[in-house]
Structure 1
Amino acid sequence: MTEVNLRHAVRALVLDPADRLLLCRFVLPGPAGPFVVWAAPGGGVEPGETLLGALARELDEEVGLAVTGAPPHVWHQEILDPGISRGHDGVVNDYFLVRTGPFAPRGRLDDAALAAENMHGLRWWPLREVVEYEGPDLFSPRDLATPLTALLRDGVPRRPVRLGL
């Protein structure tokens, strides 16, 4: 049996009091040219780091938000695709719900460091705009509107919901 090398990452569903979701704008290279993906802030778990330790570091670096306590683990995603993360056979994303007051996101990393990670901006998205979006950009996960609607409607699940691509 062949061992699968997956990149483990954490992501934060950062919601403000109006239930707007903070998403990062990633501009990624593709065979037909660059494309845009809107994804929750977060990133790779470093060796020896806990999931919550990685989440706290990533939120500080990318959006300037301090994580307090242990936010609930709400979604789990596994994607087997060697094209999705260089040097890996796929990714595992664990999503945590982080409620916060309104703030202007700006992390510790400067624009050049963020661009080196393909990140080019942040935006607060109301659920309605995620659901109704018909533009050329993608969301990650692709059907973000469905699990986000369920999370806002039903609250935190007892166990993390498994997501598709």
Structure 2
Amino acid sequence: MTLNLRRSVRAIILDEHDRVLLCRFVFPHPAVPEQATVVWAAPGGGIEPGEDQLTALRRELREETGLAVTADPPHVWHQEVVAADHAPGFDGIVNDYFLVRTSHFQPRGELTDDQLTAENLDAFRWWRLPEIAGRTGPELFSPRDLATPLAALLTAGAPHQPVLLGL
């Protein structure tokens, strides 16, 4: 049986002070525990028909953050989650993460506030690793243990092959 997985690309955007830009998604979703309605995740989204990963990544970053990526960023993480209803209409997700280094900027993409709201995207925030590692409360990160692969990325740099992530 062939699984119907939602394929997405995401960017680990790091500024000159090693802060990572995350999007705040607010939504009730079957994959999110009832006590958590907020997920902080890397910017990005689904790969549209006819797009390769980097074309989709460039489009998503332009739309969501306004960041124009011209170089080919390294592919640093790969995540597969096979679970019924994790992504509505799909058997699960595949997220491929790319490392983008840039100067600090205020995110403002091509999408209007209404379009961002329709995608459940509520806000952007630059985070330091200790803030992520020490965060408690009902808000989640995606991946759940974002601090661990992010610490490795900040310490060792981009891996030669993408690191496999869990949920």
CA distance in 1, matches of 2:121, 2:61: 13
| Alignment RMSD | 1.2
Partner residue, 2:5: 6
Return 5+ residue gaps in structure 2 as ranges: none
Runs (4+) of structure 1 exceeding 2 A deviation are 30-34
Return 5+ residue gaps in structure 1 as ranges: none
After TM superposition, give the deviation of residue 40 of structure 1 in Å. Answer: 0.1
Q: Deviations over 1:67-88 (max 9, x none)?
A: 1110000000000012221111
Report the AA paired with residue 141 of structure 2: F
Instruction: Pick one of 42, 62, 65 that aligns with 1:63.
Output: 65
Partner residue, 2:146: 144
User: Given the two structures, how large is their TM-score scaled by the length of structure 1?
Assistant: 0.96
Partner residue, 1:103: 105
After TM superposition, give the deviation of residue 107 of structure 1 in Å. Answer: 0.6
Partner residue, 2:121: 119
Report the AA paired with residue 101 of structure 1: S
User: Given the two structures, how large is their TM-score scaled by the length of structure 2?
Assistant: 0.95
CA distance in 1, matches of 2:141, 2:40: 5
Instruction: Pick one of 149, 155, 158 that aligns with 1:156.
Output: 158
After TM superposition, give the deviation of residue 30 of structure 1 in Å. Answer: 4.2
CA distance in 1, matches of 2:128, 2:85: 30
Q: Any idea what SS the aligned residue of 1:66 has? A: coil
Q: Any idea what SS the aligned residue of 1:4 has? A: coil
Q: Any idea what SS the aligned residue of 2:3 has? A: coil
Partner residue, 1:81: 83
Report the AA paired with residue 48 of structure 1: G
CA distance in 2, matches of 1:125, 1:115: 21
Pair 1:26-2:28 in alignment: no
Report the AA paired with residue 138 of structure 1: L
Report the AA paired with residue 13 of structure 2: V
Q: Any idea what SS the aligned residue of 2:159 has? A: coil
CA distance in 1, matches of 2:135, 2:112: 29
Q: Any idea what SS the aligned residue of 1:151 has? A: helix
Pair 1:49-2:51 in alignment: yes
CA distance in 2, matches of 1:121, 1:51: 24
Question: Does the CA contact (< 8 Å) of 1:27 and 1:34 recur in 2?
Answer: no
Count matched residues.
164
After TM superposition, give the deviation of residue 33 of structure 1 in Å. Answer: 7.1
CA distance in 2, matches of 1:152, 1:145: 10
After TM superposition, give the deviation of residue 135 of structure 1 in Å. Answer: 2.2
CA distance in 2, matches of 1:43, 1:77: 13
Aligned-residue sequence identity (percent) comes to 62
CA distance in 1, matches of 2:83, 2:114: 28
